[in-house]
Chain A
Amino acid sequence: MDPDVQESAETQQSGSALVTAVSCHDIFDLSACQTDSSPLAKGAAFSFINAVQAVNQRLVKHNANEMLRFEVILLGKDCEEQIKSKIFDSAKHYGLKIGKFYFCSRGEFVRTLQANNAKLFLSTDRDDVYGALKAGVPAALLCQQADQQVQEQLKVLFSGDLIGLSEDVIDGLKDFGFSAVQIQNFKAAKGCIQEFAALIGEMRKRFGCKDSPLQTILITVLGSRDVCATALKTLRGWGLDVDEAFCLAGAPRNPILTTIQPHILWDDGLHNMKGVLPLMDMSS
């Protein structure tokens, strides 16, 4: 079955745009779907779209011909016909600048991503993210926001362990109690990260130190401060100078993540939180 494509009037030129695919289920609440014409309720990660659009607006403000922008495309898995048009209408209702909508079956979404040159796939579903990474599609976790009010900045968070741990430590991870699946996920995440970091780095450079609509953050949980330093230098080499850095030396990361409230989390796959969305709940 070929993926269904619907294009809206918002289609932009792809070119060097950062084509970002997001799952419908994260942007809209598809569970409580009414048959009337009211729009869908906002989903867990709805505010992400607003933050991304704010970045795009600022990019274009600096340079009307800016090619490096977020181009958001929406991915729907196993959606019924009436849901599809509801999604399309809801996006319009909320004024979301979404260029393309792809509807496909669950089994085909990775291929759909690959076919459309998605430079980034975001989902609140860990399995989806690591499935994409293993297929070589850059992917990261989309984080639930604690509250739906628009955040001032789009926050992109990278794992310092992923970037800074040395090769021999990675090979020895099983000795520290990590499962084969976790190590696989780690390697998959590591394989795809450089290009994404470079793009974000370039985008970040369009803004100054203060008052940037895009904020980049590094968090190192397991590695020592030297691992953090290695990660900082590596990212700099790839073209990204992060704004904030945290080194936890084994301390629990949830309280820190709750304070940061990131939108995008490029994780290392080592944190065993199957079925649990990445934090955002003060009681956790």
Chain B
Amino acid sequence: MNLNHQVTTSKGDSYCLEAMRTREHSTPTKKPTSPKPENAITIAVSSRVLFNMDVEQQIFEQKGMEEYLKYQVDHETELFKPGPAFSFIKALEAVNAQLRDLYPESEELFDVVLMTNNHAHVGVRLINSINHYKLFIERFCMTGGNSPIGYLKAYHTNLYLSADSMKVREAIEEGIAAATMFTSEKVTQVSETQLRVAFDGDAVLFSDESERIYKTQGLDKFFEHEKAHENKPLDHGPLKGFLEVLGKLQRKFYAKGHRMDCPIRTYLVTARSAASSGSRALKTLRAWGLETDEALFLAGAPKGPMLAKIKPHIFFDDQMFHIEGAAELGTVAAHVPYGIAQKLPPKKTKDAKETDSPSK
């Protein structure tokens, strides 16, 4: 799609007026402008993963939409507490700051967009909280109940995080990397300077083709199959593209001499074993021209303790069992609802509460 910029200065750059004005008057708080969507790595987050809205969600479920909206407006000046994606977003901003230092003219930066089903009535409260935490979120879509898919595409979204698994599923079906996030009681402290992203292998970075064999024919057949096809790259999974863009940014840091202390670090955390089936995973990554900084082959052992050592800002897995295991030990884990590991979608209850939410 050839996108035209609607507004241009005489220099031909698109811009954001307020930020431009700040630059011109050289105030101490110089606010950077948002990159063009096609240049940026766009991360779309819903309001419930950015901020904790458990109280409000409960009001919606118990008393309905009108009461929920009234509550939000009445509490407009009250701050939200951080949600599950908050520390991940802060880490993205830390990476951006370092990228801007090294490449001041480049627009290859993370751009965080608020993509929510919420009604615009909640807008002022959300903006107040974003201002308070000094988050660099300048773009948002409050769709008032409509599907976000069209807007995700319009922003060339590289990753979509939401509390609503139905929307996440829809996004994945449309080829957009996406994962569901949950509020957790326990959250470990994570780095404020180095972004750490951990990925499961099968059905996340890779397709679920091998997982199917394991689930339908058992572990032995799985090993046999993987050995026989060791040199055949696996097909790609929904998060491959996101690993790819992270790799691209990493190389920008390497190019300026920051290999050892790169502000982005990636991990493969897989149930495959190093001795056998792991080989195919690594060869596949190599065939794609990708790599992770560390590859951890757990041979079926629980992932929680390993993740607690790594302390990633986010961990992607297709199986709720691993997500829960990770969360129990304080890791922020996001579920990728893709492939054979998914149970059938839950039957709708009478009042359709599961599919009904004011905000995602």
Contacts and interface: CB of A to CB of B under 8 A. Distances in A.
A255 B3 contact: yes
Nearest to A172: B21
A187 interface: no
A113 interface: no
A284 B16 contact: no
Contacts, number: 141
Interface stretch (A6-14, A96-104, A135-143, A241-249): A241-249
Interface in B1-49: 1-10, 14-21, 24, 31, 33-34, 36-37
B301 interface: no
A258 B153 CA distance: 11
Contact of A254 (B4, B120, B124, B151): B4
Contacts of B31: 224
A209 B151 contact: no
A225 B120 CA distance: 13
A13 to B, nearest CB: 32
Given A176-B17, A255-B3, A245 B138 contact: no
Interface string B298-319: 0000000000000000000000
B155 interface: yes
Interface stretch (A34-42, A52-60, A65-73, A226-234): A226-234
Contacts of A248: 139
A251 B138 CA distance: 10
B142 to A, nearest CB: 5
A210 interface: yes
Given A176-B17, A210-B145, A224-B19, A251 B155 contact: yes
B137 interface: yes
Contacts of B131: 225-226
Contact of A222 (B7, B36, B69): B7
B17 A225 contact: no
Given A165-B17, A224-B18, A259-B154, A244 B8 contact: no
Contacts of B16: 222-224, 249-250
A241 B119 CA distance: 10
A215 interface: yes
A155 to B, nearest CB: 10
A233 B120 contact: no
Contacts of A229: 123-124, 127-128
A48 to B, nearest CB: 19
A224 B120 contact: no
A225 B127 contact: yes
B244 to A, nearest CB: 23
A271 interface: yes
Contacts of B3: 252, 254-255
B36 A251 contact: yes
A169 B145 contact: no
Contacts of A241: 120-121
B98 interface: no
Interface string B40-68: 00000000000000000000000001100
B143 interface: yes
Contacts of B257: none
A225 B9 contact: no
Contact of B154 (A226, A227, A255): A255
Contacts of B127: 225-226, 228-229
Contact of B124 (A209, A210, A232, A284): A232
A243 to B, nearest CB: 4
B124 A233 contact: yes
B130 interface: yes
A176 B9 contact: yes
B353 to A, nearest CB: 15
B9 to A, nearest CB: 4
A284 B6 contact: no
A256 B139 CA distance: 12
B154 A256 contact: yes
A75 interface: no
B146 interface: yes
Contacts of B145: 210, 243
Q: Which of B10, B69, B141, B153 has the most CB of A within 10 A?
A: B141
Given A169-B17, A222-B17, A244-B146, A232 B120 contact: yes
A246 B44 CA distance: 13
B339 interface: no
A243 B153 CA distance: 21
Given A177-B8, A224-B16, A250 B137 contact: no
Q: Which of A176, A227, A242, A248 has the most CB of B within 10 A?
A: A248
21 contacts: A222-B16, A226-B127, A229-B128, A233-B124, A243-B119, A244-B143, A245-B123, A246-B142, A249-B34, A250-B5, A250-B36, A251-B14, A251-B37, A251-B139, A252-B4, A252-B37, A255-B155, A256-B141, A283-B1, A284-B2, A284-B4
Interface of A: 161, 165, 169, 172, 175-177, 208-210, 215, 217-218, 221-229, 232-233, 241-256, 258-259, 270-273, 282-284
Given A210-B145, A245-B140, A245-B142, 14 more contacts: A222-B16, A223-B16, A225-B140, A229-B128, A242-B120, A244-B120, A244-B141, A247-B140, A248-B139, A249-B138, A250-B14, A250-B16, A259-B151, A284-B4
